[in-house]
Structure 1
Amino acid sequence: MSYQQFQPDPRLSAFIDAYWTADGVGTAGSVQKILPDGCVDILVNIGEDFFTDDHFTFKNEQAYLVGTMTRFKYSRMLPGSVILGIRFKPGGFAAFFKFDSLHNLTDQTIPFDQKLIPEVFALNSNFINNLDIFFLSRLNPTNTSLTLITETISAYHGQIQVTELAKRYCITTRQLERVFKQHIGVSPKELINISRFQFAMEKIRQNQSTRSLMQIAFECGYYDHAHLSNEIKKYSGDVPSFF
């Protein structure tokens, strides 16, 4: 499988993590494991149909909205599969589109109204610029505090308490819970855990047997080796030694 990632216009960087493409060139129905990252994605299938492990089929020339994931899933891409993705940072989707509550979309994939995205069924040399123009025209951030809060979680790699976030940004924990579920799809605690998991995965993959898993666990804010292993297993389906 071939995967490429592209950065959006700097004016969009607080809300869009990346544009990306993936295709099944050189594969024969290979399976890819997708891990939780706290993000919402729009996927546009510009190649042949492909499907996920929960039997959801991505049809040709159709767009889909993928909610925030709290568990891993598998995707099977075929040689003719080509996907364009827009990955929104936590809370970033709400800066461009209105949606009643992303909590209803957690761990779900639904068809997305193609009228709400530009024509991208051919990946020409201008597709990044076209996406930038489109999203800049729709940019309407309505909750700057949410952006600051999610950026704080990211900066701390998930090593911060919900109560500390609420205190720092002068909001009650109940209000924080409601806003997160509406605009991100998960609770503040869940996003903190996913952020810490992502940081731990990065540390484990970079480790050249110079540090023990206990050391990595402490660096990432886990109580001990068992706590780290349980969280890695929960979000990836594998034990730390697998990576």
Structure 2
Amino acid sequence: MQIKPSRHLSSYIRHYIFLEDAGSKCKNLRLFTDGSTGLILSGSQSLYTGISKDHLPPSFFYGQPAGYKDFTAEGAFSMIAVVFQPYFLNMLLKISSKEAKNQIISAEDILKYELLPFQEYLLTGKDPEFIITQLNHFFTKFLAGKISSDHELIKAVQQLMLKNKGSVSSKDLELFTGYSERHLERKFEHYMGLTPKKYGSIVRLHHFINLMKKNVDNESTAGLSHDAGYTDQSHLIKDFKNNIGLTPNQYLKTENKLAVNFIELR
């Protein structure tokens, strides 16, 4: 179940995802990059990384994924994923998003007492919409007076790139911000965890995914890749595999798409 945040939080939180399973079977989940960072809140201790089976903390923040991350949930579980706008991790944790890239950060190490009630709500089976309402209150209170001019700048650049489906040149960004390419790149990496070029490529990839989902006329993959701004299909396939771990056809056949960047693997 995907739920939107309060409207005034949409510049900081993309959406909430509530997942619950009362069964005993393992679930294999994949989180892949869409340019977002986030927070996983869980009411159980049964979450592991995919291949290595390293035990994960019940609640944790994740930085920009370098491609994709696989998780295994064993037995019954309930969790809420809070998918951030990419710069919100920097605001919330006051750390460089570049340093947090591809990192799992235990929530107990940073905001243990603030987030503990939400874990308890999940453990006791509270209505997820109630939990998300309380999370909206929590994030609203946190944001009061904490938005800097740099955050406003990065948010404006991000919106420009989203509006143009990732196709924004370095020269366009220089004219838009008044900063040199290198200076903006440093700022972008600090607040977003990515360079503008890398973020643009992720936006373009997800634009292609949206075109693919809406492809009622059965246009070829090559045609859709051209529409999304790719110069050739091989570039698209490489991008797709690097960022999602699947080919476009494999992704389309994935039945349980939990969110734009979260799927269940069978």
**Normalised by the size of structure 2, how large is the TM-score?**
0.82
Number of residue pairs aligned between Structure 1 and Structure 2? 237
Alignment equivalent of 2:62, drawn from 58, 66, 78:
66
Whole-angstrom CA distance in 1 between matches of 2:93 and 2:104: 16
What is the CA distance between 1:118 and its match in structure 2?
Answer: 6.0
- Partner residue, 2:238: 230
2:225 is the alignment partner of 1:217: yes
Contact 2:90-2:97 at 8 Å conserved across structures? no
Tell me: CA distance 1:30–1:97, structure 2 relative to 1, closer, same or farther (3 Å).
closer
1:63-84 Cα distance to aligned partner (Å, 9 max, x none): 2110111212211122312212
Structure 1: segments with no counterpart, 5+ residues: none
Identity of aligned residues (%): 19
- Highest relative contact order (Cα 8 Å, sep 6+), 1 or 2? 2
User: 8 Å contact 1:91–1:150 — kept in the other structure?
Assistant: no
Name the counterpart of 1:42: 39
CA distance in 2, matches of 1:229, 1:86: 29
Q: Structure 1: how far apart are the matches of 2:242 and 2:68?
A: 8
SS in structure 2 at match of 1:119 = helix
Give structure 2 stretches of 5+ with no counterpart.
253-266
User: Which residue identity lines up with residue 164 of structure 1 in the other structure?
Assistant: D
SS of residue in 1 equivalent to 2:198: helix
Q: What are the superposed Cα offsets for residues 112-166 of structure 1, whole Å, 9 maximum, x if unpaired?
A: 2223536202143421221111111111221201111111212222122233123
Change (3 A) 1:162 1:116: farther
Superposition map of 1:138-217 within 5 A: 138-139=142-143, 140-142=146-148, 143-208=151-216, 210-217=218-225
Task: Work out whether residues 46 and 84 of structure 1, in 8 Å CA contact, stay in contact via their aligned partners in 2.
Answer: no
Displacement of 1:219 in angstroms is: 1.0
Contact 2:87 2:97 in 1 (8 A): no
The answer on 1:240 being equivalent to 2:236 is no
Q: What residue in structure 2 maps to residue 134 of structure 1?
A: 138
Deviation string 1:7-62 (CA, Å, 9 cap, x unpaired) is 11111111111122222344611212222111111112212421112433224xx3
Secondary structure in structure 2 of the residue aligned to 1:75: strand
* Matched-pair contact (CA < 8 Å) for 2:230–2:236: yes
Map of 1:102 onto structure 2: 97
Higher deviation after alignment, 211-220 or 231-240: 231-240
Q: Residue 16 of structure 1 contacts residue 86 of structure 1 at CA under 8 Å; is this kept in 2?
A: yes
Does the 8 A contact of 1:66 with 1:109 survive in 2? yes
Alignment-mate amino acid for residue 115 of structure 2 = I
Question: By how many angstroms is 1:191 displaced?
Answer: 0.9
CA distance in structure 1 between the aligned counterparts of 2:55 and 2:157, rounded to whole angstroms = 35
- Is the 8 Å Cα contact of residues 29 and 72 (structure 2) preserved in structure 1? yes
Q: 3-state DSSP class of the match of 1:117?
A: helix
Of 207-216 and 81-90, the range deviating more from structure 2? 207-216
Supply the RMSD in Å over aligned alpha carbons: 1.9
Distance 1:232 1:17, change over 3 A: same
Secondary structure (helix, strand or coil) at the match of 2:71 reads strand
Instruction: Report the secondary structure of 2:94's partner residue.
Output: coil
- Whole-angstrom CA distance in 2 between matches of 1:164 and 1:69: 27
